[in-house]
Structure 1
Amino acid sequence: MVKNKMVFLAPIIALAVVLIFSLTLIPSVNPTPKNLPIAFVNEDQGVTLPNQTKVNMGGKMAEMIKTSAEPKSGEEPIVDWVTVKSYKEVKQGLDERKYYAALVIPKDFSQKQASLQTPKPSSPEVQIFVNQGMNTMASTLAGQMLNGIVDNMNTTIRNQLLTGLEKQGGMITTKQAAALASPITKNVTNVNETGTHSANGNAPVSLFQPLWMACIAGAAFLTIMLNKLPFASRREKFANQSVQVLIGAVIAILVGFGLTWMADAVGMHIPDFTSIAWFLSIAYFSFFLMISAALSWLGMKGLPLFVIILFFGAPLLSMAPELMSSFYNNWVYSWLPMRFLVDGLRELFFFDKGLSWNHPTAVLVGIGIGGLAVLLASALKPGTKKEGESQTEM
């Protein structure tokens, strides 16, 4: 072995493998948010002060938020503030996964804020909604940002009130002193909650990995079996590929329901067993057809491609696109077919939506149809001599 020069390639190959798969760690090392969509609702009706001055603290709060959100020159903003007209509209947006969080200023915000300078103060309250099911990491970060904004406003308003009260003589009641400790109260509500037994909100990603490996194994096994068969004609190969597709459909149902049952058996919370099982079956069949199509043209040399997709895709699927670098978002994540599987599972797990013809389902079916067309088309490609031709020549 020492005389064989190929032996010295072993450490080079090992280092190359380490380098390639170390690249999968880059997106999760220091995730930095960019354009994180957060909704802002200002329902404050304002208040007229004794000197006939009209004040709308909600409007001032909106201006402060916009000013603080302005990015430095050449940088993208951390938060993409989306102004929404009403609580009803923002609730719909949260359910449709448009926002990671929302800040709602109620109608009586200015009125209660003005009462803080009276003997009978009533602290104004803001509502913070954290959209947990959309993405655990991003929604937590968005919630922390909103809490920080309200805390900063508390400090500003407290200083303003103290300055105003000092000008009035500096005498305050016990109730006023208590209200000054926290001039604005927060009501934080988690919506579309991930709950318990959901792998900390990553149940969809947890189910993707065994499903994808099962797709690779099933497609590779049937492709190897098909390649070993002699075909007398292209029509015969086409017929055998049709049988391969039917077997893949049966495997898809078994994997979909089997994986759902296994997840339920190990303690994962399954909100709707039938819907999740059928969705996993659809996803498996679509990926099976896609991988089989690639192998039918590339042979088993194409198999490592889907293994690499697994290793590069898994870390990204648990992250929000707004936390990725532009490179990974545009050139890696956007091309991952399994992201539609994870998106569909999020809706089933956390958004109380049953199996329906939504965007993830439509894309998965489209992937399956494309894979089926490419797979069946491989029966027409020129290949090695068929058994019938070989026997004729002999």
Structure 2
Amino acid sequence: MKLFKEKLAWAAPIAVILIIALFSVNLFAQGDPQVKNLPVALIVNDEGEHVESVKAAVAQMSQGIDGAEPMLAFTDEKLEDIEVLFDEKEYYAALVISDGYNDAVQYALANNSAATLEIYLNQGFNMTGSNVAKTALNGLITQLSGQYSANFIAQMDNQQIDADQAAVLVHPIVAKEEIFNPITAATANGSAPTLLAVPAWVGALIGGFVLFLSTSIILKRENLTRKQVVRLMGEQVLFGVIIALFSGFTVATLASVAGINMPGYFLVAFFVSFAAFCFFLLVSAITAWIGKPAITLFMVVMLLGMGVLMTPQEMLPSFFVNFIRPWVPIRFASEGLREIFYFGSGFYTGASFNTILGIGITGFVIFLLSIFKPVKAQKN
């Protein structure tokens, strides 16, 4: 029973509990996601009583059920602005009441033609979010169509109708969908940007930690001057460039072999390399200051972040949105690759690029400042 008397042995079950708890935290994000206030644009290009009926249905949907937050949050926008707003990822979808809709409903039976409400889907923003919006908007249109169908049937008063009229009578209002920034084929149903971003973080994490161990051995073995330490740090950064390039081109090559439909091999490879190098600088900076515990910190960040990478923030608990999602570096690499894959971006991807660059610059400065870190005197 000697092992049971060792304090370190009792750390094993505690460590298991902590690790399992960290892995299981994502159950709160993925277990039963509740959609709240998913942003959707409302575009009204017509007027009349039937248009007002649509607006009334939208207003009712915006109130939520039993005091809960609504699934969709509608905002009035103009048709000419919608492409820019989609590119800026302001909305997952849009409900469009086109010019002539009011007359189309008014004379649907006379013209034997159903009225159309248009649904625009910003698929590249997030496939899950756009699909949720699509389902909700189709449900609204189906409900509205059912109300008109009941009214039209009551008006017919047992009159004989032909087949064309019957189709309009059953579905007087139909939905027409148009996809913007489409998810291209062979991109893992929109998951490819995240799948390619994760290796950039893992490569930076492993490479940064191995180089930290290597430099630590050199510093313990040799009594270096400050100038020599700076030179060693420069070599560490140079190694980071090599690791980043290996990471980027390995990811792009494996993605190509796997059949992922990339917008450009070198574009993807260099962007992943850029993200990996900036992440490497961050890892090197933190490990330079706090040592081996940094690897645990970064692993925790990665584990907590996996649950938020592909899920719209409107489907996450507020804790994940406020305290985890903003601090997950992989998210910015994923968003940058999403710009490249689905929004026609080049190497510069806007806000995501700026954030990754900021992470790299901050990491580099903190890494350089570590040369002034107090060093404990070694015992002879």
**Aligned counterpart, 1:18:** 20
Q: Which amino acid aligns with 1:227?
A: S
Deviation at 1:20, TM superposition (A): 2.8
- List aligned pairs for 1:264-283, cutoff 5 A: 264-283=256-275
Distance 1:174 1:207, change over 3 A: closer
The whole-number CA distance in structure 1 between the counterparts of 2:235 and 2:13 is 44
Question: Of the candidates 279, 299, 318, which is equivalent to residue 287 of structure 1?
Answer: 279
Asked if 2 retains the 8 angstrom alpha-carbon contact of 1:42 and 1:59, the reply is no
Among candidates 288, 297, 302, match of residue 289 of structure 2: 297
CA gap 1:74/1:379 in 2 versus in 1, 3 angstroms: farther
Q: Which residue is equivalent to 2:197? A: 208
Contact 2:45 2:99 in 1 (8 A): yes
TM-score of the two chains, using structure 1 as the length reference: 0.89
Distance 1:186 1:326 in 2: 33
Aligned-pair CA distance for 1:69 = 1.4
Is 2:221 aligned against 1:228?
no
For 2:156, the equivalent position in structure 1 comes to 165
| Aligned counterparts of 2:368 and 2:10: Cα–Cα separation in 1 | 43
**2:321 equivalent in structure 1:** 329
Q: Are 2:112 and 1:121 equivalent residues in the alignment?
A: yes
1:52 maps to none
SS of the residue aligned with 2:329?
coil
Q: Match of 1:148?
A: 139
SS in 1 for 2:291: helix
- Give runs of aligned pairs for residues 1-80 of structure 1, distance below 5 A: 1-6=2-7, 7-44=9-46, 46=47, 55-71=48-64, 75-80=68-73
Q: Distance in 1 between matches of 2:43 and 2:98?
A: 8
Map of 1:304-323 to 2, 5 A cutoff?
Answer: 304-323=296-315
Measured on the aligned residues, the alpha-carbon RMSD in Å equals 2.0
In 1, the alpha carbon distance for the partners of 2:310 and 2:350 equals 21
- 1:41–1:105 CA contact under 8 A, matched in 2: yes
CA distance in 1, matches of 2:105, 2:136: 22
Residue type of the alignment partner of 1:326:
S
Instruction: Quote the residue 2:375 is aligned against.
Output: 383
Q: Which runs of 5+ in 1 are unaligned?
A: 47-54
In structure 1, distance between residues paired with 2:344 and 2:295? 36
**Superposed displacement of residue 260, structure 1:** 0.9
CA 174–3 in structure 1, closer or farther in 2 if over 3 Å, else same:
closer
Pick from 344, 357, 363 the counterpart of residue 371 of structure 1.
363
Task: Give the match's secondary structure for 1:33.
Answer: coil
The residue number in structure 2 matching 1:175 is: 164
- Identity within the alignment, %: 29
Q: Distance in 1 between matches of 2:10 and 2:357?
A: 47
Whether 2:179 is the aligned partner of 1:190: answer yes
> How many residues of Structure 1 are paired with residues of Structure 2 in the alignment?
375
CA contact (8 A) 2:302 2:328 kept: no
Verify the 8 A CA contact 2:116 2:176 in the aligned structure 1. yes
Contact conserved, 2:118 with 2:178, CA < 8 A, in 1? yes
**Residue 290 of structure 1 aligns to which amino acid in structure 2?**
L
* Equivalent residues of 1:205, 1:314 under 8 A apart: no
Residue matched to 1:353: 345
The alpha-carbon distance between structure 1 residues 174 and 259, as it changes in their structure 2 partners (threshold 3 A), is closer
1:127 alignment partner, SS class: strand
Mapped to 2, the partners of 1:357 and 1:36 lie a distance apart of: 24
Change (3 A) 1:231 1:129: farther
1:296-321 C-alpha deviation (Å, 9 max, x unpaired):
00011211111111111112101111
Distance 1:58 1:318 in 2: 36
1:72 and 1:233 map into 2 onto residues whose CA distance is: 69
- Counterpart CA distance in 2 for 1:330 and 1:343 is 18
Q: Read off the aligned partner of 1:143 and give its amino acid letter.
A: K
**Structure 2, gaps ≥5 residues long:** none
CA distance in 1, matches of 2:4, 2:105: 85
Task: Quote the Cα distance in structure 1 between the aligned partners of 2:22 and 2:243.
Answer: 32
Which amino acid in the other structure matches residue 147 of structure 1?
Answer: N
How far did residue 206 of structure 1 move? Answer: 1.0
State whether residues 43 and 58 of structure 1, in contact with CA within 8 Å, keep that contact through their aligned partners in structure 2. no
Cα distance change of structure 1 residues 92 and 121 upon mapping to structure 2, 3 Å threshold: same
Deviation at 1:202, TM superposition (A): 0.7
What SS is found at the alignment partner of 1:306? helix
**Larger deviation, residues 245-254 vs 105-114:** 245-254
How far has the Cα of 1:178 moved from its partner? 2.3
2-structure distance, mates of 1:178, 1:76: 36
User: Is residue 141 of structure 2 the alignment partner of residue 139 of structure 1?
Assistant: no
In 2, Cα distance between equivalents of 1:226 and 1:79: 53
Give yes or no for contact 1:124–1:185 (8 Å, CA) kept in 2: yes
Cα offset, 1:2, TM superposition: 3.8
Q: Considering only CA atoms, is the larger Rg found in Structure 1 or Structure 2?
A: 1
Answering whether residue 119 of structure 2 is matched by residue 110 of structure 1, we say no
